[in-house]
Structure 1
Amino acid sequence: MSHPLMDVISLGKQPPPCDSLIKIEMNQVSEGIAEAVWTPDEQMLNGNGVIMGGFISSAADVVIAYAISSLVNEKQTFASVNLTTTFHRPALPGQINVTAIVKKFGKTMSYVTAELMQNGKLVASAASSVLVQEVND
């Protein structure tokens, strides 16, 4: 038995509603690395005419969750402790490639980073500490 997010990848199950809401599609997840395509649209624009940072952080958080889900076992669950996003340049509607990598997978705490690239340029990077816990039956 695997984590439910891995069932989205391996069994083609429906992704969580948040994935569909922000229009993110997972491409590949394996051994602590997750890759996705995110396609923000005009509904995600802020008052400056660029994609709002909260949506960018959300896209990173979704892909980070898939990366960590590829390493937990059926007796573990996880939750973000923090998420720090750094914005390097404005993001616009259209395709953004998101890659998350588990840098450290610990017994109780893991560290995951993500990069969001649009048109070959880094628009944002994120880092998250993720609590890993045993599931109580």
Structure 2
Amino acid sequence: MKRFEIRDFLRVANGEIEPPPCDTMMNIRVTAASEGESTGTWTVNDSFINGNGVVMGGFLSSAADIMMAYAIASKLEDHQGFASINLDTTFHRPVTEGVVTVHARVDRLGKRVAYVIAELYQHDKKAATCQSSIFIT
């Protein structure tokens, strides 16, 4: 797969091009991305469920990380790029099979570092909150 340019993230959000393989593998569909915010849906199937019958935490973090990429991309220009510095996830309740809504927003944007927050909801209840520091290249 060729490397995305920043505008390609927005083209995915607008349904103009296919998403990158990580989105497809995770069953995530971005529905909006602009002005430092993004929203998407994650369809959780049994592939994400652990032996306890709930979604493994790393998958929730991955879903948040994907939507954070769309949020930060909506604030950058094509000559810029980004990479995660860290990702902290707080789990509020277990997630099971079904649809999870993921909202991400850029909280602060500097010249070299951005701080982004994502919240994941299932059945209208907050399931997890993620905070990330992102290096801007």
Give the corresponding residue for 1:13. Answer: 17
Are 1:101 and 2:105 an aligned pair? yes
Cα distance between partner residues in 1 of 2:15 and 2:109: 24
Give the corresponding residue for 1:29. Answer: 33
1:62 pairs with one of 56, 60, 66 = 66
1:90 pairs with one of 94, 107, 113 = 94
Query: Per-residue deviation at 1:12?
Result: 1.3
After TM superposition, which residue ranges in structure 1, 4 or more long, deviate above 3 angstroms? none
SS at match of 2:82: strand
Cα distance between partner residues in 2 of 1:2 and 1:61: 16
Q: How many residues are paired up?
A: 133
Query: Per-residue deviation at 1:104?
Result: 0.4
Are 1:45 and 2:49 an aligned pair? yes
Decide whether the 8 Å contact of 2:6 with 2:80 is kept in 1. no
Cα distance between partner residues in 2 of 1:20 and 1:33: 20
Cα distance between partner residues in 2 of 1:131 and 1:125: 20
Decide whether the 8 Å contact of 2:120 with 2:128 is kept in 1. yes
Decide whether the 8 Å contact of 2:14 with 2:32 is kept in 1. no
Query: Per-residue deviation at 1:2?
Result: 4.4
CA offsets, 1:27-66, max 9 Å, x none? Answer: 1111000000111101110111101111111000000000
2:125 pairs with one of 118, 121, 129 = 121
Q: What is the TM-score with the length of structure 2 in the denominator?
A: 0.93
- Where do 5+ consecutive residues of structure 2 fail to align? none
Query: Per-residue deviation at 1:11?
Result: 5.7
Q: What is the TM-score with the length of structure 1 in the denominator?
A: 0.93
Are 1:110 and 2:114 an aligned pair? yes
- Where do 5+ consecutive residues of structure 1 fail to align? none
Q: Percent identity?
A: 44
